[in-house]
Amino acid sequence: MSPASPPVRDSYLDAGYTLWSWLSTHDHKRIGILFAFSITALFFIGGAAATIIRLELLTPAGDLVSEQTYNKLFTMHGVIMIWFFLIPSIPSTLGNFLLPLMIGARDLAFPRLNLASWYLYVGGALFTIGALVAGGVDTGWTFYTPFSTMFSNTHVIAAAAGVFIVGFSSILTGINFIVTIHTMRAPGLTWFRLPLFVWALYATSLIFVLATPVLAMTLLLIALERWFGIGIFDPALGGDPLLFQHLFWFYSHPAVYVMILPAMGVVSEIVACYARKPIFNYKTMAMAILAIAVVGFLVWGHHMFVSGQSVYAGIVFSILSFIVAIPSAIKVFNWTATLYKAHVMFHAPMLYALGFVGLFTLGGITGLFLASLALDVHLHDTYFVVAHFHYIMVGGAVMAFLGGIHFWWPKITGRMYSDGWARFAAILVFFGFNLTFFPQFLLGYLGMPRRYHAYAPEFQVLNVLSSAGASILAAGYLLPLVYLLWSLRRGAVAPANPWEAKGLEWSTQSPPPKENFRQTPIVTEAPYAYAPPIEVAK
């Protein structure tokens, strides 16, 4: 790694410098970067909503914004962060960029469909931002009926249309990834030689194609109800709000596995590299990924325990929710076993991965609290739930996303960033995150309800701690923007394999050429074939 060597000149970045060359590209690597820009922009909008929420919650009284505005803020925060940030984040940025590289292919199976995915994302985002600008939506990201269909005076259909459109972005990505993995693996790359990140993308794509269409129809039904006043979901006309919830959560529960599985894949790649060890029990890890995806479709009723759902159905969903925790737990044990007696290098990506393992464990276990029927009666719609899912989605998925960005940054950009600053940012994020969300477990357990802009005075101390944490977290998120962008101009030129990692993506130059590989690679070894450190006799 020599600072004096000139940047690589014939990479995919040099295949055209105009804006149009980017907007009309079929190159999966460029499309991944287009997605990265878009989701970052949407992340900041969702983050702005969160900022105002945390400012409001500094004081018990609802004195910063009206309750209507507050409803719109948490709705927009949820809609944007879930559909326009978390769900596309790893698959459409890192997944798009890395999948063909990891399997030795020149591109995805359907490059034009890939570009269409991005345009659909942008179209959906424009609809949703339009709804925001026109006055917002106040139904909560869950669009529960009959409020969303009968009583809300806000721009429900515009927001639902935005989500409908971006859903097709996911579906196309899912089709593309599944077909690519099935048909375009390099010679010698059998299924059980695939990196776990590829397994994770595969399972995620299965969820994309099987769950998202149901969401699409559900959103269409909301629109029909609002336009024509039909009563499918309205009790006054003989309809059933729980029908909506069943349809909605059939998608939205698997959606959370869409958000976490790619993150788990990233963590496996990082842990193996910086522990210099193969992932412990690779086959079980791959099977656990599939198990999470499949069993994740059977548990959605745990969002409806207190909604009026039959108690027998509740019991079934509760048992299944306990079962789905098992493959996740297996993965945590296997990462731990991988780290056991490993010679760990604490680079920034590894800090994020380690943070993931701990925070995901906490988030996952608190999920079991919520899966217990009796406990959920007390905890449903409190801040306990809010803390639980933020531990998984932020403490888990976002940390893994940041870890992955750092891990593959040299490959994507051809530049090295400052690891000192990166480690500082990672620690800041970890600290800020815990300060923000751990108090929320306590708040929820003490009974503070979610989605309220005012609260009882005894909850103030914990809320202030949470808001303070949020400011630190925000700083931790902004820092990478600075040093990563700085590295594009001033960072050392990256070699092909700065971390000496295993994986086909590291065997090509940084950044890769447009066609990915000068010659199609042939795979002969198992994944993560890291050599154990040799003990040198003194």
Partner 1 sequence: MNERALVAHQFDNAAQQRDAATLGMWIFLATEILFFGALFVAYAVSRIRYPEAFAAASRLTDVTLGSINTAVLLTSSLTMALGVRATGLRARRAALGWLCATALLGIAFVAIKGVEYRHEFTGHLVPGFDFGYAGPHPAQVAMFFCFYFAMTGVHALHLVIGIGVVGVMLVRMWHGTAGIGDRGDLGYESIEMTGLYWHLVDVIWIFLYPLIYLVSRA
Partner 2 sequence: MNQQRHAGSLSLRAHFGVWVALLALLLLTLGSAYLRLGWANGAINVAIAAIKALLVMLFFMRLRASRPVLRLAAGAGFVWLLILGGLALADFLSRG
Closest residue by Cα to residue 386 from 153, 57, 150, 44: 57
Write the CB contacts of 321 (distance below 8 Å, at least 6 apart in sequence).
Answer: 299, 302, 367, 368, 371
Closest residue by Cα to residue 177 from 105, 120, 280: 105
| Contact status, residue 166 vs residue 39, Cβ threshold 8 Å | no
The interface partner of residue 316, options being partner 2, partner 1, none and the CB cut-off 5 to 8 Å by kind, is partner 2
Question: Is residue 518 close enough to count as binding partner 1 by CB under 8 A?
Answer: no
Question: Is residue 182 close enough to count as binding partner 2 by CB under 8 A?
Answer: yes
* From 85-93, 102-110, 311-319, 498-506, span contacting partner 1 (CB under 8 A): 102-110
* From 99-107, 278-286, 398-406, 414-422, span contacting partner 1 (CB under 8 A): 99-107
* From 189-197, 296-304, 342-350, 415-423, span contacting partner 2 (CB under 8 A): 296-304
Of 2, 153, 183, 190, the residue at the interface with partner 1 (CB under 8 A) is 183
Number of other residues whose CB lies within 10 A of the CB of residue 84 = 26
**What is the smallest separation between the CB atom of 303 and partner 1, expressed in angstroms?**
17
Of 9, 228, 312, 535, the residue at the interface with partner 2 (CB under 8 A) is 312
Interacting residues with partner 1 between 316 and 345 (CB under 8 A): none
Residue position matching structure tokens 């719609």: 381
The interface partner of residue 106, options being partner 2, partner 1, none and the CB cut-off 5 to 8 Å by kind, is partner 1
Residue closer to partner 2 by CB (options 174, 527) is 174
Residue closer to partner 2 by CB (options 246, 502) is 246
462/78 Cα distance (integer angstroms): 22
The interface partner of residue 58, options being partner 1, partner 2, none and the CB cut-off 5 to 8 Å by kind, is none
Question: Is residue 191 close enough to count as binding partner 2 by CB under 8 A?
Answer: no
Beta strand spans in 27-167 (E): none
* From 181-189, 195-203, 356-364, 442-450, span contacting partner 1 (CB under 8 A): 181-189
The interface partner of residue 232, options being partner 2, partner 1, none and the CB cut-off 5 to 8 Å by kind, is partner 1
Q: Work out the end-to-end distance of the chain between its first and last CA atoms, rounded to an integer number of angstroms.
A: 29
Residue closer to partner 1 by CB (options 106, 451) is 106
Residue position matching structure tokens 């003989």: 238
| Contact status, residue 390 vs residue 437, Cβ threshold 8 Å | yes
Write the CB contacts of 478 (distance below 8 Å, at least 6 apart in sequence).
Answer: none
Torsion sign (Cα): 344, 92, 176, 258:
positive
Interacting residues with partner 2 between 446 and 475 (CB under 8 A): none
Of 94, 158, 159, 214, the residue at the interface with partner 2 (CB under 8 A) is 214
Helix (H) or strand (E) holding 440: helix 419-446
Write the CB contacts of 272 (distance below 8 Å, at least 6 apart in sequence).
Answer: 278, 279, 338, 501, 502, 528, 530
The interface partner of residue 239, options being partner 1, partner 2, none and the CB cut-off 5 to 8 Å by kind, is partner 1
**What is the smallest separation between the CB atom of 297 and partner 2, expressed in angstroms?**
6
| Contact status, residue 415 vs residue 405, Cβ threshold 8 Å | no
Of 52, 55, 232, 243, the residue at the interface with partner 2 (CB under 8 A) is 243
Which pair of tokens denotes residue 181?
């993995």
Q: Nearest 5°: phi and psi at 367?
A: -65, -35
- The conformation of residue 276, written as its DSSP 8-state character, comes to T
Question: Is residue 495 close enough to count as binding partner 1 by CB under 8 A?
Answer: no
Query: x/- string (CB under 8 A) for partner 1, residues 210-249?
Result: xxxxx-xxx-xx--x--xxxxxx----xxxx--x---x--
Residue closer to partner 1 by CB (options 212, 338) is 212
Question: Is residue 309 close enough to count as binding partner 2 by CB under 8 A?
Answer: yes
Closest residue by Cα to residue 145 from 76, 252, 223: 223
Cα dist from 151 to 156, 161, 234, 240, 391, whole Å: 10, 18, 11, 15, 33
Question: Is residue 221 close enough to count as binding partner 2 by CB under 8 A?
Answer: no
Question: Is residue 250 close enough to count as binding partner 2 by CB under 8 A?
Answer: yes
Of 56, 107, 138, 376, the residue at the interface with partner 1 (CB under 8 A) is 107
Cα dist from 459 to 53, 144, 383, 444, 450, whole Å: 15, 27, 11, 10, 12
Closest residue by Cα to residue 116 from 26, 239, 16, 13: 26
The interface partner of residue 301, options being partner 2, partner 1, none and the CB cut-off 5 to 8 Å by kind, is partner 2
The interface partner of residue 109, options being partner 1, partner 2, none and the CB cut-off 5 to 8 Å by kind, is partner 1
Which amino acid makes up residue 35? F
Question: Is residue 316 close enough to count as binding partner 2 by CB under 8 A?
Answer: yes
How many chain residues touch partner 1 (CB under 8 A)?
45
**Which long-range contacts (C-beta less than 8 Å, at least 24 apart) are formed by 133-136?**
134/158, 135/72, 136/69, 136/72, 136/73, 136/75, 136/76
Question: Is residue 108 close enough to count as binding partner 1 by CB under 8 A?
Answer: yes
Question: Is residue 192 close enough to count as binding partner 2 by CB under 8 A?
Answer: no
Binding site for partner 1 (CB under 8 A): 100, 105-111, 171, 174-176, 178-180, 182-184, 209-214, 216-218, 220-221, 224, 227-232, 237-240, 243, 247, 250, 515, 520
Binding site for partner 2 (CB under 8 A): 182, 210, 214, 240, 242-243, 246-247, 250, 297-298, 300-301, 304, 309-310, 312-313, 316-317
